[in-house]
Amino acid sequence: MSDKETMSGIRDWLNSRAGGPPNPPEALPEPDIDAGESVAKREEEAVQAFLASRRGEA
């Protein structure tokens, strides 16, 4: 699975948990580069939650 496919899967999973529809990548805003560490932390938490759900741990 490529990084793009993984991020798309994570995005769809997060949207499904939030009750929203899956969004195509072009519909999402670019992350705020100035937010730096907090954005990276939220992304890492989302990735870990997604991977845990794929393993059946969530």
pLDDT bucket at 4, cuts 50 / 70 / 90: confident
pLDDT digits (tens, 9 = 90+) for 9-45: 888 887 777 666 655 656 666 665 665 667 778 889 9
Coarse DSSP helix, strand, coil percentages of the chain, rounded to the nearest 5 percent: 70, 0, 30
Answer whether 0.95 is exceeded by the pTM.
no
- Tell me whether residue 6 is in a domain: yes
- Tell me whether residue 55 is in a domain: yes
pLDDT at 58 over 80: no
- Tell me whether residue 7 is in a domain: yes
- Tell me whether residue 58 is in a domain: yes
Q: Which domain holds residue 51?
A: 1-13+37-58
- Tell me whether residue 31 is in a domain: no
The larger pLDDT score, comparing residue 22 to residue 2, is at: 2
Element (H, E) at 13: helix 3-18
Contact between 36 and 30 under an 8 Å Cβ cutoff? The reply is no
The tally of domains found in the chain comes to 1
Tell me the backbone φ, ψ of residue 21, rounded to 5 degrees. -75, 155
Contact between 15 and 25 under an 8 Å Cβ cutoff? The reply is no
